[in-house]
Amino acid sequence: MSGSFGRGLHTAPGRAVDISAYERYLGRWSRLFVPALLGAAKIAKGYRVLDVATGTGEAALMAVPLVGDTGFVVGADISIEMVKSARARLGAPRFLPVNADGQALPFGGGTFDAVVCQLGLQFFPNPAVGLMEFRRVARAGGMVAVCVGTTVAPMWRNLAHVLGPFLTLEQRDALAKSWSLADPSLLEELFRNAGFQDIQVEQIRREDTLDSFDTYWAPIEEGVGQIPQAYSALDEANRRAVRAEVDALLAQYASADGKLTMGVETLIGRGRA
């Protein structure tokens, strides 16, 4: 297999994001942690909020009602395809999507009351630079909160394991970034080195239940996400074999009626600018 993941990692270069597939493969798990992330950022009515690596706008969607008619949410993402998907999904007058690199944000210092980043910082080439940028654009005393992955959750771990022999070294390195900030002490140190105060790092676990293995597998077939991109590049025989092996591995999470219950853990770090 050759090629690399698209800019922003979750969609192939030049391909529009299938919002429904993204929601079913990643969004349903990601949003389980958004309330805790927004709570860590202490978002309130009238706030100017920056959501870095907004993706399809999962965090922004929940932040818009919190800021009300007198505030606004800017959603920034390095992938123009993701920016377009967030704009199409939200369509809210208080949401402003921007195509921007989280390590070089196009905003002046102290522009925002709060900055959040939901499952994006671990993919930055240099997370330390990203956090320094988050602090720069936050007002003095404003909160910055990030959510990063910890343990490799079963819905992604088993698929990645089975696909391993088909992946290029570049693709394996990209996948490894998903868990590159899994150490709480490392995340705390990054906040401290970026100049934050009142730093807290908390580990959170959430579970969700899928109706069946077919429900789990359908968005993978649609190729949205890092690992599904690699799966889609396989020939039909290998795709069938991968599906059968993943089905067998996930059987341990299935109930008698075929439903799959799986858990995800993240770290939520926050600091005051």
Give the 3-state secondary structure of residue 199. Answer: strand
Q: E strands along the chain, which residues?
A: 48-52, 72-77, 95-99, 112-118, 138-149, 197-210, 260-272
19-272 carries CATH number 3.40.1160.10: no
Question: Residue 233: how many CB atoms within 10 A of its CB?
Answer: 18
Q: Give the span between the Cα atoms of 147 and 186, in whole angstroms.
A: 13
> How far is 112 from 214, CA to CA, in rounded Å?
43
Do strands 138-149 and 260-272 pair parallel, antiparallel, or not at all (unpaired)? antiparallel
Residue-wise pLDDT tens digits, 167-211:
888 878 777 777 889 999 999 999 999 999 999 999 999 999 999
CA angle 208/213/218 to nearest 5° reads 95
Q: Are 47 and 70 in contact (CB under 8 A)?
A: no
Q: Give the pLDDT confidence score for residue 14 in this predicted structure.
A: 59
What's the pLDDT tens digit per position in 203-257?
A: 999 999 999 999 999 999 987 777 888 888 899 999 999 999 999 999 999 999 9
Domain boundaries, the chain: 19-272
CB count within 10 Å of CB 182 equals 18
Q: What is the pTM of this model?
A: 0.89
Per-residue pLDDT of 55-94, as tens digits, reads 989 999 999 999 999 999 999 999 888 899 899 999 879 9
